[in-house]
Amino acid sequence: MSDLVRVTKEQDIAVITIDNPPVNALSPGVPEGIVAAVEQAEKDPSVKASVLIGAGKTFVAGADIKEFVKLTSGTRGDDIGILPLLLKVEDSRKPVVVAIHGNALGGGLEVAQACHYRVATPDAKVGQPEVNLGIIPGAGGTQRLPRLIGVERAIEMCTVGKPVRAAEAAQFGLIDRAIEGDLLAGAVAFAREVAGKPIPKTRERSDKLGTPEQNAPIFAAARDNARKKFRNQICQLAAIDAIEAATKMPFEKGCDEERRLFDKCLYSDQSKAQIHIFFAEREVPKIPDIPKETPTIPVNSIAIVGAGTMGGGIAMVCANAGIPVLLKDTDQTALDRGIGTIQKNYAMSVKRGRFTQEYVDQRMKLIKTTLNYEDFGGADMVIEAVFETMPLKKQVFADLDRVCKKGAIISSNTSTLNIDEIAATTSRPEAVIGMHFFSPANVMRLLEIVRGRKTAKDVIATCMHLSKKLGKVGVLVGNCRGFVGNRMFLPYIREAQFLVEEGAAPEAVDKALTDWGMAMGPLAVGDLGGLDVAYRIRKEYRHLEKPGARQPFVEDRLVEMGRLGQKTAAGWYKYDADRRASSDPEIPALLQKWIEESRIPQRQIPAEEIVDREVYSLVNEGARILEEGYALRAGDIDTIYVNGYGFPAYRGGPMWYADTVGLKKVYERVKQFHQQHGVLWEPAPLLKELAESGKTFANFQRVAAQATD
Ligand code: 3H9
């Protein structure tokens, strides 16, 4: 028996415990250990049944994802081989009851499906989240799950990948009993109840598989839906194919088909990219000069300055995490409006079934309001979310310095301003940090945590921890203009305008990018954020541009006409009362007039060029950021883009994507754009260096510490 799996006895019941911290992944030795333990129990005449359980805070979070990386990179030759081992568990002549707490995900749920009975704590989560890694269940899950819960539900679980609570899963037969209280004791009692009875094998069931006539419309609708919802992705369709095989083939043949489809997905660029993002997100909290043991400051109350869209959204994020919030604005009308918006947002969540009314009532109780800074004295942390101008921020921080208690963290939600300049208005710059939430704050997962020159390490460590508690992916970035995300976005947005000025229709630019996988096109994003915002930034920072840098002009004209985007119902597109976009017939005429005046030569621009210019503008700026040290790793940049800018996870983020294309090829294209379009396309020195030495962004290690200004 491996030391990853141990067997103890509760009188006549063998208790098989998987102990492979932190999440009991099915690393080499674990599945083998389970089989050995089941066989040992089978041979032991004093044992009537077994309970399989996980040590620590969870059952099994799935196959060991690191092993997949070894397989696809060629450092592991043989396959993962869990499937045949699970057949042995299922063939045991004594019942095996799996007892689930925490999570049973991916291979973890597949182990559970091969066991004869499943019991769980009501709040345990069970799911097949493989699609989040670009793969499908590969240990019989696509064959056993439909046999347990029916085709339609199995498709839902395997294509959407969202886990369900065990209490809910018990209602549709995936879990045999939800156990309140002591799980092991409940599972042992359950095992005694079933010992000696005929042993049910999931793979021999067919009662829930449906008939071809019943299934045909289900599969057709599922494929249709997957093509729309998961554009360009292969794994959701593969999961549907594998489940269809379960309905049409004997179990063993279905498993062969699952295996074929699993391999097709695993070795695809899409899966490699998604697995990269999985590990990149988990790498993000690891800060070289801030060890895990760095003490953190307890944050039990948060005060927010500014009850506008951002402040209100942040208040919801804090309340959702159970943290009491004090929301301040300058007058009662602004506060009332802010609270009104929060209530409206929560009401929408209740309507959509995301929250219950009771949950919302509890959250609303956590949000208090004030007009006075004097009430901030007890707050452990302050998040400033006022209008984005330096003089105003400085005033707010001077006030906060006066009222905040010693040891409080004072943060700004600025998206562009210099955090050191803000910190310098206080007597405690070590307590000041940027907390750049993305709009809408209660929806977007990304949080850029901006490290100032003097920010204390415990303040950084606290904010990194807090981000997880708030349900955000917190990425530590250095203090440069636009930080990481917006600094890269600026050239991206600008290039979209150049493309229009050279002859591409706005719709063609956006479509090329959405077809490629971006959640929204760049011009539609401009309309959403407000064209005046980008306009103001362009004017404010024009003096910092490289001499001779090309300036976009069409968007400036739109702003000057009062076409500011969604908020004025017209920008690059026009908008109806529900903010639905459509092409604006006025735009082509306006463009023609302005472009004729400017005499820029016009041409047809292929979609491929649109994508290259857009995506490589991100990559080139990302390379500068990486070299300058404002991002710690290429994976941090990818995490920012996937979580905050609608970059498709299946392309792995801009830096990973560039590695996939090959940096030599990317560099050649950037050089070509440099020749054609001038100084803004000057290749980043790091891109040149890595391309010429045959290296990748993923393996680039910066020697110096993270840049802070
Ligand atoms: C699969 O099962 C395919 C099958 O069909 C079989 C095919 C043959 N493997 O997220 P956390 C590490 S595919 C390896 O911060 P939390 C993670 O990297 C798999 N490592 O914790 C981190 O390491 P470190 C399907 C894993 O409490 C540490 O554990 N399953 C795995 O916030 C803590 O992770 C999934 O996709 C793994 N499977 O969340 C589930 N899982 O400390 C993936 C975690 O060195 N996992 N690690 O950075 C999760 O969703 C979350 O980890 C979980 C816990 C919700 C379980």
Stated as kind and residue range, the H or E segment containing 103 is strand 103-105
CA–centroid distance, residue 178 to ligand 1 (Å): 24
Q: Which of 386, 543, 546, 417 is nearest to 480 (CA)?
A: 417
- Under DSSP, the state recorded for 515 is H
CA–centroid distance, residue 21 to ligand 1 (Å): 11
- Look at residue 527 in the predicted model and tell me its pLDDT: 94
Atom of ligand 1 nearest to the CA of 81: 8
User: For residue 52, which phi and psi values (nearest 5 degrees)?
Assistant: -105, 125
Nearest-CA residue for ligand 1 atom 41 is 61
Residue 66 CB less than 6 A away from ligand 1 = yes
Strands, sheet with 325-328, edge to edge from the N-terminal-most edge strand: 367-370, 325-328, 302-305, 381-384, 409-412, 432-437, 446-451, 473-478
- Catalytic site includes residue 682: no
Helix, strand, coil in percent for the chain, rounding step 5: 55, 10, 35
CA–centroid distance, residue 80 to ligand 1 (Å): 16
d(CA 94, CA 89): 10
- Look at residue 704 in the predicted model and tell me its pLDDT: 58
CA distances from 152 to 171, 208, 219, 473 (A): 15, 10, 8, 32
Which residue numbers in the chain have pLDDT < 50? none
Residue 591 CB less than 6 A away from ligand 1 = no
Which of 23, 258, 281, when mutated, tests ligand 1's pocket best, judged by the most ligand atoms within 8 Å of its CB?
A: 23
Catalytic residue among 32, 39, 42, 130: 130
Atom of ligand 1 nearest to the CA of 136: 5
d(CA 390, CA 396): 10
- Catalytic site includes residue 130: yes
- Look at residue 709 in the predicted model and tell me its pLDDT: 63
Q: Check if the beta carbon of residue 257 is closer than 8 Å to that of residue 118.
A: no
- Look at residue 536 in the predicted model and tell me its pLDDT: 84
Which residues, at least 6 apart from 310, have a Cβ–Cβ distance to it below 8 Å?
Answer: 385, 413, 437, 439, 441
Q: Kindly give the pairing relationship between strand 164-165 and strand 125-127.
A: antiparallel
Which of 4, 26, 34, 65, when mutated, tests ligand 1's pocket best, judged by the most ligand atoms within 8 Å of its CB?
A: 65
d(CA 368, CA 384): 16
Residue 312 CB less than 6 A away from ligand 1 = no
3-state secondary structure of 389: coil
CA trace torsion 617, 622, 624, 629 (10° rounding)? 170
Q: Write down the residue that tokens 């063939």 correspond to.
A: 91
- Look at residue 541 in the predicted model and tell me its pLDDT: 78
Residue 310 CB less than 6 A away from ligand 1 = no
Nearest-CA residue for ligand 1 atom 50 is 61
Is the pTM of the predicted complex or chain greater than 0.75? Answer: yes
Residue 65 CB less than 6 A away from ligand 1 = yes
Distance of CA 69 to the CA centre of its chain: 20
CA–centroid distance, residue 324 to ligand 1 (Å): 31
CA–centroid distance, residue 329 to ligand 1 (Å): 42
